[in-house]
Structure 1
């Protein structure tokens, strides 16, 4: 099965599928099967990270697939303990080997860990990886406005993506506005708030109106906002359901009803204090 997923053009001209597949908290032994199911369902963007300890499982699924490398968009991330110039280069080599790839489409600094204050050195290393052709697109994850501004003081590349926790309960309006100003694409992790927003009355009533699941409504909301989104599942039926969000649209009133659900709800750590 193939599904036509729209793409977002990033600030370096690369195109990323607007809806991808995340493997956070998927055990390595289950990852190959999950990614294979996702590829079969039409996903072409796969998002992993060194700390997930499942890059090998992702790599096995990619190696077994007959999809051309140029059609795939593979993201992985630099873990906090590996920040710093030389350590970043070493960690990248390890990720590349585990994935069994010749290059990474998108490499992200996973967290700013501001107390370490090494993200600017790490970024210099990633800029080198880009110039060497090993990384096609450089980005960050969980960076707050202050972290982005500080990074840009010494950066030669503007991050193409900032992957942040974003869902109806935590809409990150200030950060999204800064992204728009700087030409950074917004990518949402935990796009369904780990299920915490799926029972909200506004979402369940919109879902009933469209004959869709609450999860499909929330993913549709992300897409209409212009977010890149990476839902995670290991269930083939859910994997298929999550990509089946292009045959309907939310009205302005429905978008406004979901906008009213913003309540500062974090399901993950605070980027200002995680070190």
Structure 2
């Protein structure tokens, strides 16, 4: 297995239970990335659905909503899965992650079969992809100043004009654009798109300098199986109020197809 498939893998221990190992290399200030944790839970959801189906008709993550209760530490975690419903076009599965007897997060998954269907309609307000990856520069913050271990593994290539926040001079637009690639050229899957939709630096960095912006709730929708290659991501903030911020991400594959979207509520302190 390639690195991301390996570090997000789950092992069945029977009776709708699974184990996984949270890798310290996929953390931000020591805290595992939310999209990474969603991927781990997605592996259990997909295996739960496959174990209870004879034909495997719903092999892909289509939608997931996760509530993060506390951040697990790198190391072993336990997962439990529950099949809620199997329908003609979708299957619903609940997955709970825990560590040392404490629940760290719970996700509700909708699984289905993603294909190459044409887009029937799209709002004119829908964002469009940015520049090509060749026009972007890799962003790797110095470890001694900002220990973001995940960016030692994920390639993050910021679009031109997106680096102002790295020098403490945010533009005030609340927006970050970048290309994202997995280690060793691993192709994105519907499950690893959950990482892509949450791996960019917080869009609030383009508003006010800050540290960790912990996710409270994250909903991600996978719209299509991506073509091989890196993905292009736009992350934008909506409103900061009462030490909370909402952020939305749009993800395109290397052919310009919109393949994932996410919305989250996160904590933040301004000033």
TM (norm. structure 2) is: 0.24
Higher helix share: 1
Higher strand share: 2
